[in-house]
Amino acid sequence: MPSESRRWPLRPGAAWLDVGWGVFAACNLVATLIVPDWETVPFHFIWVSLTILYGFRVWRGGPTLLVLGAVMATTGVTLYIDYRRGAQPPDELTEIPLMAAMFVAMVWHARRRLVAMRQIERVSEANRRLLERQRLFIQDASHELRTPITVALGHAELILRGTAGALRDDARVVVEELLRLRRLSDRLLLLATVEDPEFLRKVRMEIEPVLVETLRRWATVPRRWRLGPVAEVEVEADADRLALAIDALVENAVKHTTESQPIELSAQRRQEMVAVCVADGGTGIQAEDVSRLFDRFARGSAGGREGLGLGLAIVKAVAEAHGGTVQVWSRDGGGSRFELLLPVADAPAREPGPALTLSRRPDSAPAGP
């Protein structure tokens, strides 16, 4: 069996190019012999068409050398016959090695590009497999963690209800940490399934009930809660995922505010989009943290800030899954305003915008509460 480098590359649907070029080259050779006054026009047609064909086919080494040798031999014999007839000067024979050298240079560059493309494809495929294994690992690990966390949390809550004093304080710490671990597991599972076709189950819904329900859930946390203006619009959205994203924004606002500081929820119509806004009058975001705010496991550089580093990453994932985006305006010590932008129902489809638009509260930015 011939080696791989010597086999002719008979790809389905492409061999007809080789056959067509062979017929074209033969016709030009015959034309050179029949009409010698054409000089070397058919000769150049052969070499130029060969170069174009190779650009489409990029044969292996063996077939390339075979074709190159055949073209050099046939065109050389044809020009020599015309020279003996007196139709061509002897200088024309020097074009054969010149055209062959130019073709070989083109072949070298084409082979280099082909090797580079194959290397890129191998690296891309390896990265794809690695990311897929990582996604499956996170998904499986999150599923496996749910049962032991739930069991441990149930026992810890029983201990918390049945004890007093220092032991009760310790049990409360255990419950809080288990709840934190459960949130981490749930958020990892969500991020691992964000590319699943069934990630969203969209229904037509209004924004105001979602914001009202969010305020009801968070009402027990001592903050100055406000419901700002809410536009009367409907969106095609997954109610559970949307509520989870808004909760993540509210949780972030709670972390950066005190009991006396305000947190306001609102919704504004922006042409074909609706901006679900969570604004606070808290500590704001430091400039060095802004560029990585929505990265997974990103944490603020300031000390004393708790969090899993996944809440805002979930906001970004949910926004993009709905065809929307996220915006934030903030400055250190001056509060923050987050906007989750979603397409309005029945609005023309549009590509998702940038995943993150950042600013340090310019004068044109919406003011916080």
262 is a domain residue: yes
Give residue 298's pLDDT: 61
198 is a domain residue: no
- pLDDT, tens digit (0-9, with 9 covering 90-100), for 282-328: 888 877 777 677 776 665 555 444 555 677 888 898 999 999 999 88
Provide the CATH number for the domain around residue 277: 3.30.565.10
101 is a domain residue: no
- pLDDT, tens digit (0-9, with 9 covering 90-100), for 61-72: 777 778 888 888
pTM of the predicted protein model? 0.58
Across the range 238-264, mean pLDDT stands at: 91
144 is a domain residue: no
pLDDT greater than 50 at residue 147: yes
Confidence of residue 348 (pLDDT cuts 50, 70, 90): low
- According to the per-residue pLDDT averaged within each range, which of 34-48, 154-168, 222-236 is highest? 222-236
Give residue 312's pLDDT: 86
- Total structural domains within the chain: 1
Q: Long-range pairs for 218-226 at CB < 8 Å and ≥24 separation?
A: 218/247, 218/250, 218/254, 221/254, 222/259, 223/254, 223/257, 223/259, 223/261, 223/262, 223/263, 224/260, 224/261, 224/262, 224/263, 225/262, 225/263, 225/264, 225/265, 226/262, 226/263, 226/264, 226/265, 226/369
pLDDT greater than 90 at residue 358: no
φ, ψ of residue 230 in degrees (nearest 5): -125, 120
336 is a domain residue: yes
pLDDT greater than 60 at residue 329: yes
Residue 78 structure tokens:
């044809």
Q: Which carries the bigger pLDDT value, residue 365 or residue 309?
A: 309
Please count the other Cβ atoms lying within 10 Å of the Cβ belonging to residue 100. Answer: 17
300 is a domain residue: yes
Contact 80, 86 (CB under 8 A): no
63 is a domain residue: no
Per the structure, the complete domain to which residue 248 belongs is given by 203-359
Confidence of residue 204 (pLDDT cuts 50, 70, 90): very high
Give residue 149's pLDDT: 85
237 is a domain residue: yes
